[in-house]
Structure 1
Amino acid sequence: MSFLTNLFGSSEEDKVSKVGWRILADLGQLNEIIELSHQKPVLIFKHSTRCSISRFALKNFENEYDFKAEELQPYFLDLLEYRAISNEITNRFDVMHQSPQILLIKEGKCVYDDSHDGIEINKLKKFIV
């Protein structure tokens, strides 16, 4: 371990998330998400890896996350790497693009979306019934 790691702790990249993200990296996965959303709610977290606000929102979201695997399936989208997928999400689910942004998909439709400091677990819980 380096001196700085010992002094300040490990970096965000070294920490394992308790969320259980599935990486959204292929347009075809949007069809899978729609199908899965008929069985249980699906969350999409759109994240900009170059944005400190997005990084802060992601960290807070992950720290507060307490859903069980059978309650919610989370997907993670690096929107800089996969901009075409982000654009298709905007079209398919009829939501305005924002970053960071969460979308909750149920029965094939986006039933909730929020961004920036509006990304809160307690708000999301109201839509997962």
Structure 2
Amino acid sequence: MEKIDGIAQFEQLLEEKKGFFFFKHSMTCPVSAAAFDEYEAFLSAEETDQIGYYLTVQDSRELSNHIAETANIRHESPQVIYFKDGKPEWTESHWKITKNKLASIY
């Protein structure tokens, strides 16, 4: 899992990666902590060859807002967005973020 802090880093992901998962994490929310654990479990599963990316909203508010605006997806935290070919294809938030749900998208 790789932490992304800047808009330029994120834009590079959109250009270079065919598909990737991106997680918006709040360091002060217990729901986000649980969702982060599910995200991490999904990424570390043997059948997953994905590298996941994430930001912490407390540290990267500008990037979080940029993603919401450019993807035209209302900001939530926790939130996972799957980007494919530079566009958001799927999103989920809060308790709906589970290892099994993420695996069904992948």
Q: Is the TM value for this pair above 0.5?
A: yes
- Distance in 1 of aligned mates of 2:38 and 2:101: 13
The Cα shift of 1:57 comes to: 1.3
Choose from 47, 52, 58 the match for 1:74: 52
- The size of the alignment, in residue pairs, is 103
Identity of aligned pairs, percent? 28
Residue 84 (structure 2) pairs with residue 123 (structure 1): no
Q: CA RMSD in A?
A: 1.4
Q: TM-score by structure 2 length?
A: 0.87
Structure with greater proportional helix content: 2
- Quote how far apart the aligned CAs of 1:35 are: 1.2
Structure number with greater Rg is 1
Q: TM-score, with normalisation over the residues of structure 1? A: 0.73
Residue 56 of structure 1 and its aligned partner are, at CA, apart by: 1.4
Q: 1:27: which partner in 2?
A: 7
The separation in 2 between residues aligned to 1:28 and 1:105, in whole angstroms, is 16
Distance (Å, rounded) in 2 between the aligned partners of 1:121 and 1:80? 24
2:63, 2:16 → 1: CA distance? 18
Shift of 1:53: 1.0
Higher relative contact order (CA 8 A, sep 6+): 2
SS at 1:85's partner residue? helix
Cα deviation code 1:105-124 (max 9, x no counterpart) = 00110000000111123222
Which structure 2 segments of 5+ residues have no match?
A: none
Give me the whole-angstrom Cα distance separating, in 2, the residues matched to 1:106 and 1:61.
18
